[in-house]
Chains A and B, each alone.
Chain A
Amino acid sequence: MGTVELQQLRKRFGSGDDAVVAVDDLSLELEDGEFLVLVGPSGCGKSTTLRMIAGLESATDGDIRIGEESVTDFEPRDRDIAMVFQNYALYPHMTARENMAFGLKMNSSLDEATIDDRVTDVAQTLSIEPLLDDTPSELSGGQQQRVALGRAIVREPAVFLMDEPLSNLDAKLRSQMRTELQALQETLDTTTIYVTHDQTEAMTMGDRIAILNEGELQQVGTPLECYNTPANQFVAGFIGSPSMNFLDVTHDAGTLTHEAFTYELSEATTELLEDQTDYVMGIRPEDLDLTPDGAIDADAEVVEPLGDLSHVHARVGETLVTATVPAGTQLPAGESLTLSVPESRLHIFDHSSGEAVKNSDGPTQEQPLIAAE
């Protein structure tokens, strides 16, 4: 069983005044076969969490359970895990075959022939069979990545741990490997914890995403949940590219007031707002429409054509916002324009705590493309 459970996991580096809490009170549960992406900015504690699960760092407090067993005090080799490192960490003096076989030689009672068969099988799956007799220095970055994956897969562990495995690849190869990894994980059906700082990887690869910031878990949910119903302003800003636009507003009797515009709220939304006045309005770039009679006055600054669509960067008062517009849209710098956003797409956050008060009505579950009969 490849279930993983983290219970109030904590990691503190150093002691006294110099102590740094890298991971604070983190609790998570993964089902068998689940693909969880741990995502967050640099220094948020995601790699430390992964290293604690691997046994490369000891937990200051809390418990790590893999399957039915607490492995918190186990050596890495006794945890039934395999890890793919950011820099691959292939043994430079061994061939690809020896690299892949090393774990089985060290940690299993299999005979050489069986090990060799398993290595060959995995190499075939990853299309690296012709490279098995090459050393890592003879392989390209993408090939090394496959060998590193093969080294993990061949051991048939209960859990895969992947620490930013695609970050050293170029954009095209990264995109290709992303798809391959997803397909591979679905085929193998092995529980996977994948660490990345890239929100695109997080959105596209995982069954669920866990977003960390400053050592604390911000939200766990499906990619769509995190995108459309972010728990707080941090998640809303971190997930999505370009980022969500944030505008500081004050609320008074169903009207949100910004220095450059006012926005009337429906009764239902007004009821969600409490007595306080300071809120942050959150709007996804794709929800901002360029309309002649929009409620939000703005001045165009730059248009970024991306081919299939364009991003307009415009100033609303002192705040720079981004709107996604159809390809070919042309706006001279400084041109006045008005933007609109339907209330259903609006996010509202508490100004002081950052907690979400209202989220958009976007879907939180994937919709089947073809309805079942």
Chain B
Amino acid sequence: MSASIEQFTQSLRERMTVPSLGLDDDSRFAYWLLLPSIAMMALIHFIPMVWGFVISFMEVNDSTFIDWMSAPISPLKQYGAIFQPDTAVGAEFWSSLVETFLFAFGTTIGVYVLGLTTALLLNKSFRGKFTARTLVLIPYFAPAVATIYIWRMMFTADTGVVNELLVWLGVINSTDEVFWLIGNNALISMIVVNIWKNFPFAAIMLYAGLQSIPEQLYEAASIDGASRWATFRYVTLPQLKPVTAVIILLMIVWSFINFTIPYLLLDKNPENGEVLMLFIYNFAFQNGDYSLGAALSIILLVISMVISYGYYRATMQSSVQGGAV
């Protein structure tokens, strides 16, 4: 098998006469093999990013979209509007940014706490562990549209099962139904659904991390006299630091760019809970102001990058050594 692959690649190399580009033979061949993937990445990611960046300095909207290259160039108009509180976009930008931070913050804490609890439970020996591990993964792999619509039905004020449950538990009266999808509760609902959707990812990552902590460290801790809490605090948590750092970073970034949950759960144009992704969508595709949408996207990108870099500097570099990765 491997001989035939070698023969195939060898004959491929002989047939492909490619420019050297100053690279050695192996590197050049590797780049040519990677070219289709790089081309796809460029098409799907890089070109739209560059195009978005370009039009954020123009005035591309519904009327100029067809012939966007001849749209007026106004370098700072969009960015200026975003940061001026008396404009339509500027009036809501900051509140939307705050909503986004709260969404990311709430999600990250919830996903980590629930994921860690689940991982610690999965790390115990019990019957049906394999089944439990599989069941835990369902939210992560279930189709987002279907599950988010089910959550929406569950959160419906008059017929939803969430209010029904709260009434049954005696938390609220049957006449005081809670409006989960509008008002201030919308943000809580979004966070709950996002936690539910993403905690399996954290659970499995942390479970893998727990599995890789050497048993001898726990034995050493028990001989050193550490209580169960102290063992968790001084052995388990520090050993999970690298994997924790990755989860937190990903959760922050994924929450910042999450569009599916706010869009499907709250509908397109909610009064509250309009996180930046939805805010951008509404300006770009509902109002047809593509340049404004592009400028907002660039700001979101910069914010995400700054947070990620800062977080990386603060935690990842120091925590990669000596822990369960």
User: B321 near A: Cβ within 8 Å?
Assistant: yes
Q: With A85-B216, A136-B322 as given contacts, are A93 and B239 in contact (CB-CB < 8 Å)?
A: yes
| Distance in angstroms between the alpha carbons of A230 and B226 in the assembled complex | 43
User: A106 near B: Cβ within 8 Å?
Assistant: yes
Q: A77, B224: Cβ atoms under 8 Å?
A: yes
User: B222 near A: Cβ within 8 Å?
Assistant: yes
Smallest CB separation, A92 vs chain B (Å): 3
Q: B223, A54: Cβ atoms under 8 Å?
A: yes
Q: With A85-B220, A93-B241 as given contacts, are A137 and B230 in contact (CB-CB < 8 Å)?
A: no
Q: With A92-B322, A93-B322 as given contacts, are A87 and B214 in contact (CB-CB < 8 Å)?
A: yes
| Distance in angstroms between the alpha carbons of A295 and B221 in the assembled complex | 61
Q: A103, B219: Cβ atoms under 8 Å?
A: no
Residues in A neighbouring B90, C-beta threshold 8 A: none
One digit per residue, 1 when the CB lies within 8 angstroms of any chain A CB and 0 when it does not, for chain B 188-232 equals 000000000000000000000000001011011111111100100
For A77, give its contact among B222, B239, B241 (CB under 8 Å). B222
For B223, give its contact among A76, A87, A91, A136 (CB under 8 Å). A76
| Distance in angstroms between the alpha carbons of A91 and B239 in the assembled complex | 9
Smallest CB separation, A206 vs chain B (Å): 22
For B220, give its contact among A83, A107, A135 (CB under 8 Å). A83
Q: With A85-B216, A89-B216, A91-B234 as given contacts, are A56 and B222 in contact (CB-CB < 8 Å)?
A: yes
Q: A56, B234: Cβ atoms under 8 Å?
A: no
Q: From residue 233 to 259 of chain B, which have CB atoms closer than 8 A to chain A?
A: 234-235, 238-239, 241
User: A81 near B: Cβ within 8 Å?
Assistant: yes
Q: From residue 18 to 76 of chain B, which have CB atoms closer than 8 A to chain A?
A: none
Smallest CB separation, B162 vs chain A (Å): 41
Q: B223, A82: Cβ atoms under 8 Å?
A: yes
User: B323 near A: Cβ within 8 Å?
Assistant: yes
User: A102 near B: Cβ within 8 Å?
Assistant: yes
Q: From residue 303 to 324 of chain B, which have CB atoms closer than 8 A to chain A?
A: 321-323
Smallest CB separation, A164 vs chain B (Å): 12
Residues in A neighbouring B234, C-beta threshold 8 A: 91, 102
Q: A76, B222: Cβ atoms under 8 Å?
A: yes
Smallest CB separation, A100 vs chain B (Å): 10
Q: B230, A106: Cβ atoms under 8 Å?
A: yes
Q: A91, B217: Cβ atoms under 8 Å?
A: yes
Q: A87, B321: Cβ atoms under 8 Å?
A: no
Q: A77, B217: Cβ atoms under 8 Å?
A: no
Q: B219, A106: Cβ atoms under 8 Å?
A: no
User: A29 near B: Cβ within 8 Å?
Assistant: no
Chain A contributes a number of interface residues (CB within 8 A of B) equal to 26
Smallest CB separation, B230 vs chain A (Å): 6
| Distance in angstroms between the alpha carbons of A75 and B238 in the assembled complex | 24
Q: A93, B238: Cβ atoms under 8 Å?
A: yes
Smallest CB separation, B216 vs chain A (Å): 4
Residues in A neighbouring B216, C-beta threshold 8 A: 85, 87, 89
| Distance in angstroms between the alpha carbons of A135 and B220 in the assembled complex | 17
| Distance in angstroms between the alpha carbons of A308 and B227 in the assembled complex | 54
Smallest CB separation, A82 vs chain B (Å): 7
Residues in A neighbouring B241, C-beta threshold 8 A: 93
Residues in B neighbouring A92, C-beta threshold 8 A: 239, 321-323
Q: A85, B226: Cβ atoms under 8 Å?
A: no
| Distance in angstroms between the alpha carbons of A56 and B217 in the assembled complex | 12
- Which residue on chain A has the smallest CB distance to residue B224? A103
| Distance in angstroms between the alpha carbons of A103 and B214 in the assembled complex | 18
| Distance in angstroms between the alpha carbons of A136 and B234 in the assembled complex | 16
| Distance in angstroms between the alpha carbons of A151 and B226 in the assembled complex | 14
Q: With A76-B222, A106-B226 as given contacts, are A89 and B217 in contact (CB-CB < 8 Å)?
A: yes
Smallest CB separation, B214 vs chain A (Å): 7
Smallest CB separation, A2 vs chain B (Å): 16
Residues in A neighbouring B217, C-beta threshold 8 A: 89, 91
Residues in A neighbouring B223, C-beta threshold 8 A: 54-56, 76-77, 81-83, 103
| Distance in angstroms between the alpha carbons of A136 and B235 in the assembled complex | 14
Residues in B neighbouring A91, C-beta threshold 8 A: 217, 220-221, 234-235, 238
Smallest CB separation, A14 vs chain B (Å): 15
Residues in B neighbouring A82, C-beta threshold 8 A: 223
Residues in B neighbouring A89, C-beta threshold 8 A: 214, 216-217, 219-220
One digit per residue, 1 when the CB lies within 8 angstroms of any chain B CB and 0 when it does not, for chain A 117-152 equals 000000000000000000111000000000000010
One digit per residue, 1 when the CB lies within 8 angstroms of any chain A CB and 0 when it does not, for chain B 67-104 equals 00000000000000000000000000000000000000
| Distance in angstroms between the alpha carbons of A77 and B230 in the assembled complex | 13
| Distance in angstroms between the alpha carbons of A340 and B239 in the assembled complex | 62
One digit per residue, 1 when the CB lies within 8 angstroms of any chain B CB and 0 when it does not, for chain A 72-102 equals 0001110001110101011111100000001
Smallest CB separation, A165 vs chain B (Å): 13
Smallest CB separation, B317 vs chain A (Å): 14
- Which residue on chain A has the smallest CB distance to residue B216? A89
Residues in B neighbouring A55, C-beta threshold 8 A: 222-223
Q: With A92-B323, A93-B322 as given contacts, are A85 and B222 in contact (CB-CB < 8 Å)?
A: no
| Distance in angstroms between the alpha carbons of A56 and B323 in the assembled complex | 23
Q: A75, B235: Cβ atoms under 8 Å?
A: no
Residues in B neighbouring A136, C-beta threshold 8 A: 322
Smallest CB separation, B222 vs chain A (Å): 5
One digit per residue, 1 when the CB lies within 8 angstroms of any chain B CB and 0 when it does not, for chain A 25-60 equals 000000000000000000000000000001110000
Smallest CB separation, A144 vs chain B (Å): 12
Residues in B neighbouring A151, C-beta threshold 8 A: 224
Q: A85, B224: Cβ atoms under 8 Å?
A: no
Q: A107, B225: Cβ atoms under 8 Å?
A: yes
- Which residue on chain B has the smallest CB distance to residue A106? B225
Mind listing 30 A-B residue pairs with CB under 8 Å?
A: A76-B225, A77-B222, A77-B223, A77-B226, A81-B223, A82-B223, A83-B219, A83-B223, A85-B216, A85-B220, A87-B214, A89-B214, A89-B216, A89-B219, A90-B220, A91-B217, A91-B220, A91-B234, A92-B239, A92-B323, A93-B238, A93-B241, A94-B238, A102-B224, A103-B223, A106-B227, A107-B224, A136-B322, A151-B224, A155-B224
Which B positions have Cβ atoms within 8 angstroms of A? 214, 216-217, 219-227, 230, 234-235, 238-239, 241, 321-323
Contacts beyond the supplied A83-B223, A90-B220: 17 A-B pairs with Cβ under 8 Å? A54-B219, A55-B222, A77-B224, A77-B226, A85-B216, A87-B214, A89-B217, A91-B220, A91-B221, A92-B239, A93-B238, A102-B226, A103-B224, A106-B224, A106-B227, A135-B321, A137-B321
